[in-house]
Amino acid sequence: MRHVLEQSGQAALAAILQRNPLLGFDFDGTLAPIVARPDHARISQSVAGKLRRLAARLPVAIVTGRSAVDVLRRLDFEPYCVVGNHGADLGSDGGAEATRVLDGLRQLLEAQATELVHAGVTVEDKELSIALHYRLSPHPAQALALIRDLLRGTGAECRVFSGKMVENVMPAGLPDKGAAMHHLVRRCGAASALFIGDDINDEAVFASAPDDWLTVRIGRDPASRAHYFLDSTAEVGLLLDRLMTHAGA
């Protein structure tokens, strides 16, 4: 992986902007720094202003693990689209059935609510997915062990995947972030796409991206399928500056 703000990355950014791409962004850990309490996450005014200017020139999409409603109230600009629940919102026509699949887990979590609270685990139910956060736990290894023990019985109907101090559960077969990005590119008629993300669920985009897309991961990870990286969310504003220059925004 190479740093996207170095020479080869700069050339790649200039080339992708000539194709009038869809600009896709994760939210937590990408546009907004990861914080101890998810409800405290915010985009800085500076980053929001740059996104607003870009959105006036190109389609800007937020593809996030949060619910779309949650993210929309945290934005100070109007994006082309927000897809929540790790891409699962695209399968919302089957939302009632997907919610039913998670009902067994909801009952289990309710029965174990006291134990989860004592372990420092926070349950976030987003209808099409459930997130079990343990960032605030005083004993994160024990909290993670408890979570994984509870999730062993979810069965083949559910997909379980990790994130940064969180375990996620969603019904199997629903779209992931990769499917969401491909769908949005087709829908808006873009010739290409740029996507920036930071976590395991963003690898679905990195792994499925055609050669003419540009993908960027926040944080260095030799195992990532992203083309380039940024060292931290603090550099996202610099990347947006480069995009604005190339887009004439």
Considering its fold, how many domains does the chain have in total?
2
CATH of the domain at 207: 3.40.50.1000
Contact 61, 83 (CB under 8 A): yes
- Given 119, 154, 171, the domain boundary residue is 171
- Cβ neighbors of 118 (< 8 A, separation 6 or more) are none
The token pair at 155 is 């069965």
Residue-range definition of the domain harbouring residue 26: 2-91+174-247
Global pTM reads 0.93
Nearest alpha carbon to residue 147 among 131, 159, 136: 131
Q: How far apart are CA 33 and CA 90, in angstroms?
A: 26
164 and 111, same structural domain? Answer: yes
What's the chain's Rg over C-alpha atoms? 18
193 and 144, same structural domain? Answer: no
pLDDT tens digits, one per residue of 137-196? 999 999 999 999 999 988 788 999 999 999 999 999 899 999 999 999 999 999 999 999
153 and 165, same structural domain? Answer: yes
- Given 171, 190, 217, the domain boundary residue is 171
240 and 149, same structural domain? Answer: no
Q: Phi/psi of residue 33, each to 5°?
A: -60, 145
- Given 171, 198, 224, the domain boundary residue is 171
The per-residue pLDDT for 92 is: 55
The per-residue pLDDT for 249 is: 77
**Mean pLDDT in residue range 193-200:** 97
**Beta bridge pairs of residue 28:** 32
126 and 200, same structural domain? Answer: no
The per-residue pLDDT for 95 is: 61
Q: Which of 21-35, 86-100, 102-116, 144-158 has the lowest mean pLDDT?
A: 86-100
